[in-house]
Amino acid sequence: MSGKLGRNDPCWCGSGRKYKKCHEAFDEKCARFRQEGFAVPAHSLIKTAAQVEKIKESCRINVAVLDYVAEHIRPGISTLEIDRWVHSETVRQGGIPAPLNYEGFPKSVCTSVNEVVCHGIPSEEEILREGDIVNVDVSTIYNGYYSDSSRMFCIGRVSPEREKLVKVVKECVEIGISRVKPWTPMGNMGHAVHQHALENGYTVVREIGGHGVGLEFHEDPWVSYTSAEGSGILMVPGLMFTIEPMVNMGSDEIYTDSEDGWTVRTEDGLPSAQWEVTVLVTDTGCEVICW
């Protein structure tokens, strides 16, 4: 990786420190794991301390926007109203909503109600009713740095079945967070998430997963929540990615709306729920930087 870098040269991470005092031991450790057959993230996926600070500024806006949604969401509003809040709150704080015009996405936020798995498009016609469960997925660009997180909201009183689904998916994310440990394969995290969903009688969507984030909206690695223990890329300090399982009450089959090209729904029409956080792998575990 850094074969030509001298031990006294400045480290590749941009810290300004000598390589031997900074990432040399890290690179040696990566090389040993690579020899053992593990997939190890490229340097380009390892965030520098300066980048982490910038990305955290973006996260601060993302969290504040979701807090705003949490305070104002209620029965009777349309999902377009949520889009207006997200757009105005993001811009007010100096950010840009990352979904807007992203690969042609027409709005500033994804709102996914009940059987919508993800990528729901806010609409004037879609009114939130008591008993609905909705995922609001917010992503922000601030000074060129990206943040991404989503939460579930229960509209008024919802059925015990739906309430349980929402609660269990949150637990799935918390369990995933607890399994983010440096120098262990990412599959361990995904496996633990999957197990908790299965134990509660649910399924986890296989085709759509999480992703690296920070310098771009969607970076490597792709992150599965149905992975086998021991599989996948090694989680190393400085790697940043989302934990965002989509958990279905019924079957894991999904389809994309052919009319709008975005909205993903469950095949059986049963509800789906998702929470999303962004984590940074640290020397000792992980830091949740966006929620």
Contact residues for ligand MF3 (CB under 6 A)?
Answer: 99, 102-103, 105, 110, 119, 137, 139, 148, 244, 276
* Least distance in angstroms from the C-beta of 210 to Co ion: 6
Question: Which residues inside 139-168 make contact with Co ion, applying CB under 5 A?
Answer: 148
Partner that binds at residue 179, options ligand MF3, Co ion, none, CB closer than 5 to 8 Å by kind? none
Nearer to Co ion, 208 or 249 (CB): 208
Specify burial of residue 49 (Cβ count, 10 A radius: 0-12, 13-18, 19+). exposed
* Least distance in angstroms from the C-beta of 64 to Co ion: 18
Q: Where are the beta strands (DSSP E) in 64-206?
A: 96-97, 110-113, 116-118, 133-142, 145-154, 184-185, 203-204
* Least distance in angstroms from the C-beta of 170 to Co ion: 16
Nearer to ligand MF3, 81 or 244 (CB): 244
Distance CA 284, CA 234 (A): 14
* Least distance in angstroms from the C-beta of 131 to Co ion: 27
Distance CA 197, CA 207 (A): 16
Partner that binds at residue 36, options Co ion, ligand MF3, none, CB closer than 5 to 8 Å by kind? none
* Least distance in angstroms from the C-beta of 158 to Co ion: 24
**Is 184 in contact with 156 (CB distance < 8 Å)?**
no
Distance CA 147, CA 218 (A): 10
Distance CA 60, CA 255 (A): 33
Instruction: Please work out the total of residues on this chain that contact Co ion, with binding judged by CB under 5 A.
Output: 2
Distance CA 273, CA 284 (A): 30
Question: Which residues inside 224-243 make contact with Co ion, applying CB under 5 A?
Answer: 242
